[in-house]
Amino acid sequence: MKVLVLGASGHIGARLMEMLQATPWAKATGASRRMKNTASWLEVDSRDPRQLAQALQGFDAVVNCVAGDAVSIADGARALAQAALQAGCRRIVHLSTMSVYGPAEGRVREDAPLNPSLGWYGSAKCEAEAAMHDFARHGGEAVMLRPGCVYGPGSQLWVGRIGRWLQAGRLGDLGIAGDGWANLVHVDDVCQALLLALRLPTAQGKIPVFNLAAPDSPRWNDYFVDLALAINATPVRRLGRRRLQLDAWLCGPPLKAAERGLKLLGSHGVKLPDALPPGLLALWSQHIHLDTQAATHRLGVRWTPYADGLRDSAAWFTAPAAASRHTLDKVICTP
Amino acid sequence: MIREADSIPNGSRLEADVCVVGGGPAGIALALSLSDQGHAVLLLESGRLEPHAPTQDLYEGEVADEQLHSPPGKYRQRRLGGSSAIWGGRCMPFDPIDFETRAHIPHSGWPISYEDLLPYYPRANALAEAGRFLYDAGEALAPGTGPLIAGFDSERVLSNGLERFSCPTHFGNRYARRLALAPTLEVLLGANCTALRLQEGGQALRELQVRTLAGTQFTVAARNTVLATGGLETARLLLASRDVAPQGVGNTHDVVGRYYMCHIAGNVGTLTVHGPTSDVRHGYEISPEGIYCRRRLSIAAGEQQRLGLANAVARLHFPRITDPAHRSGVLSGLFLARKLISYEYSKRLKDGPPPTAAVYARHLRNVLADPLDTTGFLAHWLSKRTLAERKFPSVILRNRSNRFSLEVHGEQIPQAHSRVTLAGGTDALGMPRLKVDWRYSRADIDSLGASLDVMAEEFARSGKARFDYNRHTLEEDVMRFGAYGGHHIGTARMGTDPRSSVVDADCRVHSVRNLFVAGSAVFPTSSQANPTLTLIALSLRLGDFLSRQLRAERAPLQMKEAA
């Protein structure tokens, strides 16, 4: 099976490339906006349907791991659906997100209604899902995965910055403010699910959808305390909602402005503290618990136990190179 | 879902797999655990999140001797979260010896062992937000943290044990969202259980009668009912339900309400540590996961057995607050501000005859003479307690003199005539009020004295410290404020023999197959430990038992359907 991976230089895409290359049945090509000097790489702007259609020629399937701003996500997905139909690329495996459920709480199965009200990210991801439905209506095969928070080695979003906040005493045990479920899923499990989705039999016009989160993933407070202990960011602090809000609303804007300013000046050497996006405060107290029965039983994902994922994540964080490694996913503020 | 009991139509009959009466730490832990396992749970809570005087008044009752025991409505809160709304947060497990039948402690012995409860303690610790289940300083604190007293190491008197502190977590505030979202759980607020109605013959509970202060009445018929209403109210409810069993539910052998225990506690003697003040770690330490921990002295189990002692612990404490001779500005400040402190926390600031003007003047002088220390203390208190999410647990003074008193907290030996009974009057819902007649015995004091003697011997033997106390004033020292407030234990004790206990090893009332009790009422002995952590653990164990039982009841039905 010839597979093109869009967003192959990102956290998930990069790991997926490694895993695809290790399978006997897939021949993987990576694609991203920036060229890489390897034979199995294409330079593609995934928002451009013509470029995409050209790139997709000859591929049996495409995996959409594109991250970025709202336009890249939504327009990119629409462009991909159109291009895949044109190029005769039969299958799209689309990486969506739990953010499409919006502010839902309690156990959430894949048939729960979508709610784009939580911000640009969830809204763009809902649009991207709609594009996949279009693709299926026009005869394409699509499978969608909705991961929770992807952790494990390389995750700047859910290990890197969390670890840095813990070290700085800006995060800890949050009480009620951190009582939501973390819905953590190991990057290897996401990639495993992507691999399984590439070969999953599908029925005409139907899109199988799977939530992805380790069934033993704890609540945010547990994750924060466990990670803090594992990376020696101790003693863990107890922080309340007020304190987090001050950090997010008072320190956030100047930090963001300074970050942009430094970027404009072309300075990459200065490392600023990560701003705390207010959206995260809502996420940490949101009692959304992804139901992953379908991924377990129908897709057959074998989940990395939380303890192992935590150990991998902490080992990556404490390895000398990790702290300075910044990947594409750093630009996204919500899962 | 959480809703008002007044929204239930009058005369309704509600059903559930399990009805939990009482939304305190025991009831909330149990209800969440059962609903996590998919069972339909109805939690009846008399109050709401905020305190409400008419609801709180339902607790009022009599005491035989107010010098010995506070009124029944004190130290208890009738609201969602129960008395965790005002608790101090001290957490530590019972010791293995507490569960054993000890020849020297009459009526001792649980029908379960420490090992039976151990699997539930870590979850209890987590619910109480007290961190990891580690109670040995060597395991719980960062490596290199020094001992209680440098150079003091004894096999008879252990000094490496810890107590941990909850935030203190208000279970109502903390878990309201979980309760509201649990799909198979319904919480009714303002719902007072006023009677347990047995089936004819008395072997099973038919229904609960529920009333609200606004006048709504309905009944609950659950497969299983659990009373989680605290050590006093549980006995009251059992005793007051007399329609089928005239002596009260589960009271065939006149055990309900008897063997009532609290703890024997007070500040005793003077401990003088030799050497530099930096040798002593008398205050709070913070564990890696951010929990306040404090060391305590205890008598090794073997020594308790050999000397015939009840269990007891001691902490290094400051001198008696009311006596201005301590010359501490902080303590005098506390004494002067005692009227601003709640009943529960100011009780031990009010002893002896009313202070004279001269005593006031000496306290005031202490405050004025010690302005830096007093200001520093206030600043620390404001930042680490008043404004902090995890509160600094109690007043700790800087150690300037290496002199302390020992704050002891001892097990009380169970005795049948220490008891609660129904009193004459009734509350606003027509329930008989409670009368508390708490007793202690000579043996309680003697045991504590003997424990202190062991400590004194071991301090002397070590050459590191010296402990002096007056054996003749020990009883006065520990009974000055009567029973230690808030620990209401033993009124529906657990055992194998219905003639001397109310519930069995599964917390089931012996004579009523679908009625259970959660909480410290079932503890047959009181341990050295505060009861909250253990009653949460026991609730979680009960939750697992009920869950297994409900599954077993359902299993044959499903098989039949399949056939």
Higher pLDDT, A160 or A263: A160
Asked if B167 is an interface residue toward chain A (Cβ–Cβ < 8 A), one would say yes
For residue B558, pLDDT over 70 is answered with no
Structure confidence at residue B563 (pLDDT): 45
Mean predicted confidence (pLDDT) in B398-424: 94
At B42-56, the pLDDT tens digits run: 999 999 999 999 999
**pLDDT category of residue B556 using cuts at 50, 70 and 90:** low
For residue A161, pLDDT over 60 is answered with yes
Most A-contacting residue of B292, B389, B390 (CB-CB within 10 A), to test interface: B389
**pLDDT category of residue B559 using cuts at 50, 70 and 90:** low
For residue B560, pLDDT over 80 is answered with no
Residues of B in contact with A225 (CB under 8 A): 289-290
Percent of chain A with pLDDT over 70: 93
Average pLDDT, rounded, for chain A: 91
Nearest CB partner across the interface for B181, out of A105, A176, A222? A105
How many angstroms away from the CA of B169 is the closest CA of chain A? 9
Residues 6+ apart with CB under 8 A from B490: B231, B259, B260, B261, B414, B520, B521, B523, B524, B525, B526
For residue A263, pLDDT over 90 is answered with no
Phi, psi of B408 (to 5 degrees): -100, 150
At A103-115, the pLDDT tens digits run: 999 999 999 999 9
Contact A238 B289 (CB under 8 A): no
The enclosing H or E element of B523 equals none
Contact B389 A239 (CB under 8 A): yes
Most A-contacting residue of B171, B181, B286, B289 (CB-CB within 10 A), to test interface: B289
Structure confidence at residue A330 (pLDDT): 42
Percent of chain B with pLDDT over 70: 98
Residues of B in contact with A104 (CB under 8 A): none
Average pLDDT, rounded, for chain B: 94
At B350-393, the pLDDT tens digits run: 776 788 899 899 999 988 988 888 888 889 989 999 899 999 99
Structure confidence at residue A332 (pLDDT): 45
Structure confidence at residue A323 (pLDDT): 52
Mean predicted confidence (pLDDT) in B10-16: 97
Cis ω for the linkage preceding A147 (within 30 of 0)? no
At B517-553, the pLDDT tens digits run: 999 999 999 999 999 999 999 999 999 999 999 999 8
**pLDDT category of residue A324 using cuts at 50, 70 and 90:** low
For residue A37, pLDDT over 70 is answered with no
Contact B388, A175 (CB under 8 A): no
Contact B389 A175 (CB under 8 A): yes
Asked if B561 is an interface residue toward chain A (Cβ–Cβ < 8 A), one would say no
For residue B113, pLDDT over 70 is answered with yes
Asked if B178 is an interface residue toward chain A (Cβ–Cβ < 8 A), one would say yes
How many angstroms away from the CA of B36 is the closest CA of chain A? 11
At B306-352, the pLDDT tens digits run: 999 999 999 999 877 888 888 888 888 888 888 888 888 887 777 76
Structure confidence at residue B76 (pLDDT): 96
Mean predicted confidence (pLDDT) in A289-300: 97
Count of CB pairs separated by less than 8 Å, A with B: 49
Residues 6+ apart with CB under 8 A from A100: A114, A115, A116, A122, A125, A126, A129, A146
For residue A335, pLDDT over 60 is answered with no
At B132-163, the pLDDT tens digits run: 999 999 999 998 888 999 999 999 999 999 99
Cis ω for the linkage preceding A116 (within 30 of 0)? no
Mean predicted confidence (pLDDT) in A9-16: 94
What secondary structure does DSSP assign to A20-87, as a single string? HHTSSS-EEEEEESS--SSTTEEE--TT-HHHHHHHHTT-SEEEE---SSHHHHHHHHHHHHHHHHHH
Mean predicted confidence (pLDDT) in B184-194: 98
Mean predicted confidence (pLDDT) in A48-57: 89
Asked if B173 is an interface residue toward chain A (Cβ–Cβ < 8 A), one would say yes
For residue B183, pLDDT over 70 is answered with yes
Higher pLDDT, B265 or A329: B265
Closest chain B CA to residue A175: B174
Structure confidence at residue B140 (pLDDT): 96
Structure confidence at residue B30 (pLDDT): 98
Contact A173 B289 (CB under 8 A): yes
For residue B36, pLDDT over 60 is answered with yes
Residues 6+ apart with CB under 8 A from B172: B23, B28, B49, B79, B80, B81, B82, B84, B85
Which of B106, B107, B110, B90 lies closest to B98, judged by CA? B110
Asked if B386 is an interface residue toward chain A (Cβ–Cβ < 8 A), one would say no
Contact B389 A235 (CB under 8 A): no
Residues of B in contact with A286 (CB under 8 A): none
**pLDDT category of residue A268 using cuts at 50, 70 and 90:** low
Mean predicted confidence (pLDDT) in A219-248: 95
Mean predicted confidence (pLDDT) in A133-137: 96
Q: How many CA atoms lie within 13 Å of B530's alpha carbon, on the beta-carbon side?
A: 19
Mean predicted confidence (pLDDT) in A185-191: 98
Least confident range from A46-50, A56-60, B210-214: namely A46-50
Q: What is the ipTM, given to two decimal places?
A: 0.93
